[in-house]
Structure 1
């Protein structure tokens, strides 16, 4: 696996704050590693479907999910090594990873921010993308609601500071033309 430094891959930093803001790092993991990890997770992750209440009715969440505690769960192939490498790269003791499987462009996640009550203050959230390129929208919570669009390529990493979650929402909108799947891995330092 070829791994770049944080500054080798033409990083983009649309949002800056004292903790690092929001950074997009393309090509952190090479194509071969990304493809092998994608295949391993697609086959071996404990994917679940969930339902949520929305507009007073129960709806199917438009993606599949899996959650692992890195310090205690049995992990799919390659996941422990990937977590260790991202932790070393960002100097963060990640202990949790949430996986999302977007089966095609119909799957999505609405604009939201990560809930901070059980995340370690000052520690980043790192999202690794695998598979199909999808667009991430990042939008300021306050008017005039400045918005940024990031094209998340396979092997890329989005790093969001803890404090950015207080001021910005992020999401993956529907993309009708996308027919291939994407997996995202959101690494976090949890306190619970």
Structure 2
């Protein structure tokens, strides 16, 4: 099943069963235990604080966001196989994967757009969710009444493409609900 969203000025596709449950679970446990997760300091409104999630960059290029420059480790075999599956599904090339570990409901990512210059115009962001399900929010940048909420299930794929990053921002909010750890793999193409 593939579900396309009809949000204005956005190109979104959600595929809830991109990975079979046993494969999604294997990838989660492998990455959870074998990745050297780090927590970076970021500046928000001029104040430095620790990012409320753990991250790791894999791939072929460095990536800079929120004044953090991450240098990648090579794709491990398990991510190389996922990258090939994604490239076949999307007909796009991806040269980095930003892996995010949300340990519990207090780990989050605030409102932002993936609109860094090194992603080019109209980037394709392919996001695979593993582990616990979490709520994901989208909101139009100028028409605040335009909103979308979506539960990102384990093994699901969310693709944000076209003008989505120009007109929409997104977040993974904190939750007081009991949630299990979640890994989010965001594949992207760094240009230059």
Same fold (TM over 0.5): yes
* Corresponding residue SS for 2:183: strand
Aligned to 2:176: 176
Cα pair 1:40 1:77 within 8 Å, conserved: no
* Corresponding residue SS for 1:68: strand
Residue-pair matches, total? 182
* Corresponding residue SS for 1:78: helix
* Corresponding residue SS for 2:100: strand
Partners of 1:41 and 1:35 lie apart in 2 by 10
What is the RMSD computed on CA atoms of the aligned residues? Answer: 1.9
Runs (4+) of structure 1 exceeding 6 A deviation are: none
Unaligned runs of 5+ in 2: 62-71
Partners of 1:55 and 1:97 lie apart in 2 by 27
Partners of 1:191 and 1:37 lie apart in 2 by 27
Unaligned runs of 5+ in 1: 1-8
Q: CA deviation at 1:35?
A: 0.3
Partners of 1:24 and 1:173 lie apart in 2 by 19
Alignment pair present for 1:32 and 2:22: yes
Partners of 1:47 and 1:73 lie apart in 2 by 12
Cα pair 1:87 1:94 within 8 Å, conserved: yes
Q: CA deviation at 1:148?
A: 0.3
* Corresponding residue SS for 1:121: coil
Q: TM-score, normalised on structure 1?
A: 0.87
Alignment pair present for 1:51 and 2:17: no
Aligned to 1:11: 3
Residue by residue over 1:68-119, the C-alpha shift from the partner in whole angstroms, topping out at 9 and shown as x without a partner, is 1158843334111011101111011111110110001110000100024111
Q: 1:55 to 1:123 in 2, by over 3 A?
A: closer
Q: TM-score, normalised on structure 2?
A: 0.87
Greater Cα offset, 67-76 or 40-49: 67-76
Cα pair 2:55 2:99 within 8 Å, conserved: yes
Alignment pair present for 1:61 and 2:69: no
